[in-house]
Structures are given as C-alpha cells and as structure tokens.
A and B are shown apart, each in its own frame.
Chain A
Amino acid sequence: MSTKANDFLRESARVEHSLEDYAGCTPRWCTGCGDNAILTAIQRVCREEQLPLEKIVFVSGIGCSSRFPFYMGTYGFHGLHGRALPIAEGIKMRRPDLNVFVNTGDGDCMSIGTAHWVHATRYNMNMTVMMHDNNIYGLTKNQASPTSPQGTRSNTTPRGSVLKPFDPLQATLGMSNLSFVAQAPDWIPELLFQIIHEGFKHRGFSFIRILQRCPAFQDNRWEPCIQNPDSLLMLTHEDGVQLSPSLARVYKQSVTHDPSDLVSAREIVGTSEQTPVGILYRNPDVPCYEDLRKPDQLYTPELIKQGLDEQLDKFTIWPRD
C-alpha cells in the first residue's frame, strides 16, 4: 500500500538539493558582516551532505548571529537570549533523525548562556554549534562582550573595557566530557567550510568558535589577522584540516596537530602568540547523552499500559475475598 508519506520519501530521494534550496529569507546583516560568510559555508555543508530540508533544525538564541535560522530554508527555532543550547538538547533528545545546528554569539553563549554551554559540552549531544565571536554585542548596539579585548571602547565602556577578555578555547578545552573543539576565521571560506563540515561529521557536541567580523562596531578587530597571514597558526593533520596548495602559499605558519592530542591542544591555545585555526580536539569515542538515555524499545500503548499497571500494582489495595 502506498501512502502519501512513502510517495514523498521516494520522490525526495531522487531530488538533488542545490545551494538555493537551503536558502531562506534574504539576510538583513550589515554589508561586510562575517555572518554572511558563515551562512554560505553552512549552506555548502548541507548541499555537500544532501541533507533533506525537513530533517534540519537550526536553533539560535538572540543576537545578530541568532537571526541565522531565518536565512535557512530549513526548520528553525529562534529562541531566547542564551537558551539556544537547552532548546536544541530538548529537540535532539527524542528526535535523533533531526540534524541539529546551533548558532550563537559571544554574548549569547559565553555571557547569559554560560551555564548551558558548560553543561551542553558535558552532555555531548550530537549537534554542531557555531559560536559567532565578533567580540561585541551588535544587535543591542555596541556594548563590550566577555571576549572584547581589554580597552575596547563601547557604549558601556566609553573609556575602554578594564577586564581581560574571556578565552573561549581555553575554557572549552578544560571542560569535562569534551568531544570536539575547533576554531575558524570567517574570512577564509575554504577553511570555514572544511571546519564546519568536520564538525558536522563528528558524532557528538561539535563546538566551533568562529572569528567573526563586525564592520559596524568592531571594525578593526580581526584586521591585523586578515592583513598578516602569519598571525594565524594553521593546525593541519591528515585526520584534520588540510590546506590546499593555494592556501598553503598564503598561510605559511602551520604545525601538524593531532586532534586526538588534548595536551598539545591546551598547549597551543595557552602559549601560542598566534591565533590557531583548525581542529583543536576531537574524540569520537565520547558517548552521546541521547544514546545513553534512549529507550530500549518502541513503546506502544500496550507497553505503556503494562508499565503503568506494574507501577500501580505496587500501590494497590485489592478488595479482600
């Protein structure tokens, strides 16, 4: 018997998705905003993987970066400031068939949502998290964020911020049950694509910090890195990121880093003068929370009744014969 759903599955299997299929509304980000580059990269990942549109959910919080789901042609959940991760966890928990992506910013993830980020790392649910780090609050119009460099002049720090910035990579690499951490700049499309793609392919919580340009409020933040390719340290490995010959000609500072080596990852992040780019850590063996907690069988009304009756038996007073 052929049902409507079966017809659709058969048909959709034949369709080849193009980049345009993954596009949603026209982005309203500023000209030159790094978010546009991230959007392009992720649409390429989706096309590369030929993900069915209805099986993708982009979850975000609040902020410039969190407008992301609107610009995808997939399912999306534009949630609350800081709460993208627990919402994404709830979605993934009983729907392993859905491909879950999270877009969050430096304020969303590392200020108001810090607790969720720490614990999401520990839960290690299978999702790809892109943390768009532009070092500033953009949507609320220019306030210093936890990752703003010391001395950042903003509307809340008119004489320059006084605190040293928070280092997301050092923090992440110290978290328990870590399974994937990478860093990518938004201005090298080939690497951005490769790193997000690796994150997607990793089964577990893939945390990608993306160095993101904000032409409106942090115009010069990444300019030295863009102007001086030697300020970036490429982490390459046969099991990680590989530079194309043309990229290798520009980005000469590179080291071989095995993504399974956590100690070396911490050393690079903690001591390097340069900004590392690539996969810092990957451990495919960390179990996913949704797998650890998944039901052992398909529950039918009969099984639920049986389970409930078993419980009620414990508390039942039967009439005496």
Chain B
Amino acid sequence: MAVAKKKRNTKPVGKPAVEIDEHIVEILSDSGEGAQKCGQSFGAIAARLGYGIWTTEIIPAEIQPPARSVEGASGNRIRVASRRLTNGGDSTDLTVAFNEQVLLGRLRAGQLKPGSTILLEDAWRSSDDPGIAASYARVYEELVAQGFDVYEVPMHAECLKIVRDPRRGKNMFVLGLLCSIYSLNVNAAHEQVKFIFGKKGDLVVASNQKLVDAGFAWAEKNLNIKFKIQATPPVEPHVVVNGNTALALGVMASGMEVCAMYPITPATSASHYLSDVFEKVGGVVHQAEDEIAAAAFAVGSSYAGKCAVTITSGPGYSLKQEVLGLAVMAEIPLVVIDVQRGGPSTGQPTKPEQGDLLTACFGSHGDAPKVVMAASDIEDCFYSVITARKIAETFNTVVVLLSDANLATAQQPFPRPELSAEWLAPPVDQSPVDPDYLPYNWDSRSGQRQRVIPGQPNGMHTLTGLAHDRTSGVAYNLEVNKEGMRHRSLKIAALQKTLKTPAVFGDDAGELLVVGWGSTRGAIEEAVQRVKADGHRVSSLHIKFLQPMASGIKEILNRFDKVLVVENNWADSMDDELIDEENRRYSNLGWLLRARCLVDVDCWGEVGEQPIKPGTVERIIRERLSK
C-alpha cells in the first residue's frame, strides 16, 4: 500500500543528495511550540554557511490562539538559495507541521507547492481523543490523495526520550531534521543552539543540542530525502536582522536621540529592540500615552534641537496627521516611520500592505508638503533612516519613511555597516544669532531657512502653526500666508533637484515597464528576470523617493509600449463589470504616476495575506504582454 510505504520509507545509506538551486521551507506549529525559533535558527545557520536567505514569519492574530486550530498556525517560512535573495519566493517546497490543523490553513491558502514534501508529527494518529485521531487520519489521507509526498515523523516519541515535555523540544528536533535533509553541518546547529540558549545555562544548551542530534540521526536513518544547495561562503561580514531591527539600528546610526512611540502592530518590535539598546548610545525611547502625544513629543524634541523619530503603523499614522501638519507649517524636522499593515481602520494588523502611500503624501489638511520615501529591503531599512534624518534636518521638514509588515519580520543578510561620523546629527547649535535675524528668513529661490534653536541668544521668537510671516508673527495678511506656502513647497522642489533618476532594471526600452516601490522590489525584479529569460522585452523601475519624485521618470515611462504599476494595495480591476476608465480607482502609485507623468499607466494591486510573490507578478506580466 502506498500509504504504508510512505509512512516508513527507509533511506539507503549513503544515498546522494539531490542538487537544487533553492528551496522554500515552512515550519508550522501551534503558538508557543517554537516553530518560529526553529525557522529563525534554520535561517541563521543557512546564512552563516553562505546561503542566500529570506525568512518570513507566519503569525497568528492572537497571543494564545486555540491549540490545533487552522487560524492558530504560527511559524516561519525560509527561502534558501545558492544566490542572494530579495524576496520570499513562491510556494513552499517542504513543510514541517507539528499538527495537521496548522497545515490546513496554509494548504487552503494555496501556499504549498502541489506535490511538495510534508513532514507531519504522527503522535496525533494514536491520540486518546478519537476525534483528534480521526481528524489526523482524514487530513493525512487527503494530503496523500492530493499527491503530496507525506512523511510521518514520530517527533513526540523521539523527543520524549530526551526531554520530559516534548512540546518544548520538538522545534530543536526539527532543526536537526532539516540539517540532515539539506546536508548542513550539524555543528552549525550546535553553535546556533549555544547562541540562543547560552543565557539559560549549559544544561539547557546540552539538552537542546541532544535534540538537534536526535532529529539529525532520525532523518539520516529514516528519510530518503536529501538535498544539497551550493553555498557561497561570505567574504565580508554580514548582519542578519529583520526589517524592524534594521530600522532600529538605523535610528541608532543616524544620531537621533529620541524615539517617541505608542504600541502598534507591526511597528512595535522596532521600538522593543530600540528600548533595549538605544540608551547604550545615549538615546531614549519614550512610550507616550497615545499616538498623537508620541508625535507631539517628537516634535517638541526636534524643536529643541534633538531630532526625533516616531514609529507607527497605519492607524497611528492617521492619528498623527494634525501634528505632522504642524511640523510642516512650523518647519520642524521630524522623521516618521510607518510600518504599513492592512487597512483601512484596524484592518489586518499582522498582514502586509502598501496602502498608506497616498495618505503619506497628501495626509494632513491644507497644503502640507512633506518628503515620502520607502525602504525596499532589509538593508534599505537601515540606511533609509539615516537618509531620512539628514533630509529632515537639512530641509527642516517632515520625512515619512514607509516600510511594511513584509519587511518588518523578514530577515535577509546584508553587508555589515560601518558607522560613519557623517551619519550622525550635528551637536545642537547654541551660538548667539544676529539680533536682526528673522526666524523665517526664507531664501526666495530654494525656500530654505536657517533654523534657530532655543538656547541661542538673540534668536527668541514664538513658533506657531498659524500662518506666519518672516518674524514668525501671526499672518493677518493673506499675502503672507501665500509666501509661506510657496517657500514650504519650494523646499521640496529643492530637494527634488538633488535626487538621481532611478536606474531601470533591464533594458532602457521595451514592451512593458513594471513600476513598483517599497518591499515589492525583489519580487518584481525576479519576475522580470524570469519573463526576460523567455525573450520578452520587459524591464522594471523601482521608485524610492515617492515625494518628491526624481526627474527623468516620465522619460523612462515613455520609452516603453506599456507601463504597469504593481503594488500591494487596492486597484480596481477592469474585468469588473462596473469598472471603466472613468471610474477606475487606481493603485496608490498608479494615481501618482498618472498625475505626475501624464502617461496612461495601468496598474495591478493585490491585497492578500502574504507578500506579493514573484510568480504572481510573473503571471500578471505575461497576461499584460498577451493583451
């Protein structure tokens, strides 16, 4: 019987490993069973050995969702390859599940590659609860019937030989299992165990290393699956962090001293990490009473010469709008990081979306010009904060840095940064100013002004969110208000003059140009590469500065027969009966490009549970090319 054969497939000793370029591995468990830790460890080991990795967290909405529930799946998805990776890839090649229920959600969402390998904890087959045993058997049969290559693994039984509570040990057993399957040196796993459990003492380390060994040994003896991916050992040091940690490290490296925040998913982990370490470089994280207070606190700090950042996500970003308008009006430097999530309203707190772009550009009432930029990968999260601080202080304006739930928890190695003194903020200027100084001494060509900071003798003035003249006095004359508006707008234009035209990925002209921004860069470029390989003349363009936008973009757009914006946000589909050219709501960047470039830009947007996949973009490109 096929089932029985699969169940206990023995591997001929010394069977050669199958050479592959890449694989996507998923580890799923109930919340609290440690699949996250297993996945992160596997990713870290692979990165250390020189593989390209991109890891993605699978997070349930609740802290303690019911055990063995479809919605409760918690885990990690690791894409491992012989080359550098820029995104999470397509569907999963190998899944390890601690119970059959957590697997179902992923299966139904189409995340598992048809016919892919599944390693399933078999303890449920003999559960005392007849309902559980029956459910397990049913799902098992269903998986086999669908053609999945299912292996039952006695994780519980094997771990019980080493630890009293296998629920707390399975994850390391699985780590050993994966080391065997992917032909990784088990010593690397031992080092990782020491790294993560070192603080808990030698006994804990030893017991977890034993679990790793047990998993490794079991797989060597009982599984006939073995892969080998070529690694390229790194020649320079790399750091492996997720996007939120990279943002926090960027805050430290930017020389900012104050971060004011209010807890919000998925931005908070940046502040968690910063709270732990910021003080070591003289910084402080202030957890304010609400989002508005966090922004106002940051504005106060920046006003007093200590440029500050406030980190939030969509709902918090909405709440801060009035304060951002004040910073724009009074010309106070401020960095705002929006780690976007699914919206509107409370939306989908743990799911990725790029739906805040237009709010970032046009939020706050009246004309409130500000700078909007986006990070495209993990490394970019780090450097973007440094750039954002610098622009904010140079132009005395608000800089919004957009990241998203995709980057927030994804890990990707990048070359270890070396701090440059130029990244840091200058000391607070406390020198006396000319008694004739005007607080808003706008330069009529660039809109720039020299800002004076409290403590500077002779510089006393009252700053206001009211329309004001060059003395910062209330503008009772409408012409004066217009003057302020003109100069605040000119500053953005002045910054624009310094921006470089983004480089086209691929040929400079062709059939189709795919345009994107933020975290979708990797997926878009990979898709473009695949389609190009078939001889199609497809290129892509990634826009980092969304407001202002660099010169030369319109010219690039015009060199292609068609332009398609791909985004992780809503766009009406022309396939819907009601939708036509006159009522279509475009994706965020779609609107911007159409308005900015007067080019008939098409768009495609997806709002789903997962980051946009290269395969999906590939499909859309092929569809558009065939139209």
**A contact set with B: CB distance below 8 Å:** 4-5, 8, 12, 24-25, 52-55, 57-59, 69-70, 72-80, 83, 85-95, 97-98, 115-116, 118-119, 293, 295, 297-299, 301, 303-305, 307-312, 315-320
Tell me which of B236, B308, B416, B430 contacts A90 (CB under 8 A). B308
Indicate which residue in A91, A115, A303, A315 contacts B303 across the interface (CB closer than 8 Å): A91
Whether B432 pairs with A315 at a CB distance below 8 angstroms is no
A308 touches B297 (CB 8 A): no
Binds A, one of B61-69, B99-107, B276-284: B276-284
Q: When the two chains form the complex, which single residue of B304, B416, B419 contacts A305, counting CB atoms closer than 8 Å?
A: B419
Question: Are A317 and B239 in contact (CB-based, < 8 A)?
Answer: yes
Most buried by A among B48, B241, B280, B294: B280
A89 neighbours in B (Cβ, 8 Å): 286, 297, 300
Assess whether B359 is interfacial by the CB under 8 Å rule: no
Q: Looking at the assembled complex, report how far the CB atom of B568 sits from the nearest CB atom of chain A, in whole angstroms.
A: 27
- When the two chains form their complex, are residues B323 and A83 in contact, meaning their CB atoms are under 8 A apart? yes
Of A54, A55, A295, the contact of B458 (CB 8 Å cutoff): A54
Q: Which residues of B contact A311 (CB under 8 A)?
A: 249, 252, 277, 280
Our pick among A70, A116, A309 for the contact of B293 (Cβ within 8 Å) is A116
Knowing A75-B460, A91-B300, A311-B249 are in contact, say whether A317-B292 is a contact too (CB < 8 A).
Answer: no
CB distance A317 to B237 under 8 Å? yes
Interface string of B452-481 (1 = CB under 8 A from A): 001111111111111000000110000000
Query: Is the CB of B203 closer than 8 A to any CB of chain A?
Result: no
Counting from the closest, the 3 A-B pairs by CB-CB distance are A90-B300, A76-B462, A299-B282
Contact partner, A119, options B293, B302, B474, Cβ 8 Å: B293
**Which residues from chain B contact A74 at a C-beta distance below 8 Å?**
460
- For the complex formed, measure the closest distance between the CB of A200 and the CB atoms of chain B, giving whole angstroms: 17
A-B contact pairs, 6 of them (CB 8 A): A77-B463, A78-B466, A80-B296, A91-B301, A95-B455, A297-B282
Taking Cβ atoms with an 8 Å cutoff, the residues of B that contact A are 47-48, 233-241, 245, 249, 252-253, 255, 257-258, 260, 277, 279-284, 286, 288-290, 292-294, 296-306, 308, 322-323, 326, 413, 416-417, 419, 421, 424, 430-432, 454-466, 473-474
Q: What residues of chain B lie closer than 8 Å to A77, measured between beta carbons?
A: 300, 303, 462-464
Cα of A91 to Cα of B252 in the assembled complex, Å: 20
List residues of chain A with CB within 8 A of the CB of B431. Answer: 4-5
Measured CB to CB, the closest approach of chain A to B366, in angstroms, equals 14
Partner of A75, one of B288, B292, B300, B454: B454
CB–CB B234/A319 < 8 A: yes
Asked if A86 and B454 make an inter-chain contact with CB atoms under 8 angstroms apart, the answer reads no
**Could you say which residues of chain A place their CB within 8 Å of the CB of B424?**
301, 304
B255 touches A304 (CB 8 A): yes
A312 to B249, CA, bound (A): 8
Given A87-B296, A317-B48, A12:B252 Cβ within 8 A: no
CA gap between A75 and B235 in the complex, in Å: 54
Q: Are A312 and B284 in contact (CB under 8 A)?
A: no
Contact A88/B300 with A58-B462, A295-B282, A315-B245 known, Cβ cut-off 8 Å: yes
- For residue A80, which residues in chain B have a CB less than 8 angstroms away from its CB? 296, 322-323, 326, 465
Query: What's the Cα separation between A293 and B260 when bound, in Å?
Result: 13
Contact A53 B460 (CB under 8 A): yes
Complex CA–CA separation, A89 to B306 (angstroms) = 13
> Nearest chain A CB to B306's CB is how many angstroms away?
5
Indicate if the CB atoms of A307 and B465 lie closer than 8 Å: no
In the assembly, what is the distance between CA of A298 and CA of B253, in Å? 16
Residues of B within 8 A of A76 (CB): 460-463
Q: Which of B413, B455, B463 meets A97, CB within 8 Å?
A: B455
A78 and B462 contact, Cβ closer than 8 Å, known pairs A25-B473, A303-B282 = yes
Q: Identify A95's interface contact among B249, B260, B304, CB under 8 A.
A: B304
Say yes or no: B281 contacts A299, CB within 8 Å. Answer: yes
Q: Which residues from A are CB-within-8-Å of B301?
A: 90-91, 93-94
Would you give the shortest CB distance from A68 to chain B, in whole angstroms? Answer: 9
The answer for the CA separation of A119 and B290 in the assembled complex, in Å, is 10
Q: A77-B303, A119-B293, A304-B424 are in contact. List 18 more A-B contacts (CB 8 A).
A: A24-B462, A72-B462, A77-B300, A79-B326, A86-B289, A87-B300, A90-B258, A90-B301, A93-B286, A93-B297, A115-B293, A116-B289, A304-B282, A311-B277, A311-B280, A312-B249, A316-B239, A319-B234
Which residues on the A side are within 8 Å of B461 (C-beta)? Answer: 75-76
Distance of A70 Cα from B462 Cα, bound (Å): 6
| Inter-subunit contact B238/A317 (CB<8 Å) | yes
- A319 contacts B465, C-beta separation under 8 Å: no
Give Cα A8–Cα B458 distance, bound, in whole angstroms: 10
| Cα-based distance from A83 to B454 in the complex (angstroms) | 19
Docked pose: A116 CA to B260 CA in angstroms: 14
Nearest CB of B to A79, in Å: 6
Q: Tell me whether A312 and B300 are in contact (CB under 8 A).
A: no
Most buried by A among B47, B257, B416: B416
Chain B residue contacts of A79, Cβ below 8 A:
296, 299, 326, 465
Given A5-B431, A301-B424, A319-B237, A90–B48 Cβ distance below 8 Å?
no
List of B residues within 8 angstroms of A54 by Cβ: 454-460
Hey, which chain A residues are within 8 Å of B413, CB to CB? 317
Q: A86-B296, A295-B279 are in contact. Are A318 and B432 (CB under 8 A)?
A: no
Is B303 a contact partner of A87 (Cβ separation < 8 A)?
yes
Are A307 and B303 in contact, CB atoms less than 8 angstroms apart?
Answer: no
List residues of chain A with CB within 8 A of the CB of B298. 90
Nearest-neighbour CB distance to chain B for A94, whole angstroms, equals 5
Chain B residues whose CB sits within 8 angstroms of the CB of A4 once the complex forms: 431-432
Q: Which of B235, B241, B460 has the most CB of A within 10 A?
A: B460
Asked if A308 contacts B281 (CB within 8 A), the reply is yes
Instruction: Given the known inter-chain contacts A5-B431, A90-B301, please indicate yes or no for A304 contacting B237, CB distance below 8 A.
Output: no
Closest to A122 in B: B289
Which residues does chain A contribute within 8 Å of B289, judged by CB atoms?
Answer: 86, 115-116, 118-119
Q: A83-B292, A95-B304 are in contact. Are A307 and B277 (CB under 8 A)?
A: yes
CB–CB B455/A98 < 8 A: yes
- A307 pairs with B280, CB closer than 8 A: yes
Complex CA gap A91/B428 in Å reads 13
CB within 8 Å for A70 and B252 given contacts A83-B292, A95-B306, A318-B237: no
Nearest neighbor of B285 in chain A, beta-carbon distance: A293
- Least CB distance, A18 to chain B, in whole angstroms: 15
* Contacting pair B462 A75 (CB below 8 A): yes
- Of the listed residues B279, B456, B457, the one surrounded by the most CB atoms of chain A closer than 10 A to its CB is B457
Q: Are B454 and A91 in contact (CB under 8 A)?
A: yes
- CB-CB under 8 A from B241, the residues of chain A are 315
Q: A residues within 8 A CB of B279?
A: 295
B466 CB contacts on chain A under 8 angstroms: 78
B300: chain A residues at CB < 8 Å are 59, 77, 86-93
Name the residue of chain A whose CB is nearest to the CB of B432: A8
Closest chain A CB from B462 CB (angstroms): 3
Instruction: Report the separation of the CA atoms of residues A70 and B464 in the bound assembly, to the nearest whole angstrom.
Output: 9
Given A90-B308, A304-B424, CB of A115 within 8 Å of CB of B290: yes
Judge whether B238 and A70 touch: CB under 8 Å: no
Contact A90 B260 (CB under 8 A): yes
Bound-complex Cα distance A86 to B297 (A): 5
In the complex, A116 Cα to B290 Cα: how many Å? 8
B325 (CB) vs chain A CBs: closest residue: A80
A77 and B458 alpha carbons, distance in the complex (Å): 16
**Nearest residue in B to A295 (C-beta to C-beta)?**
B282
In the complex, A124 Cα to B280 Cα: how many Å? 24
Name the B residues within 8 Å of A87 (CB-CB). Answer: 296-297, 299-300, 303
* Closest-CB distance, A88 to chain B (whole angstroms): 6
State how many angstroms separate the Cβ of A131 from the closest Cβ of chain B. Answer: 18
Collect the chain B residues with CB atoms within 8 Å of residue A115's CB: 289-290, 293
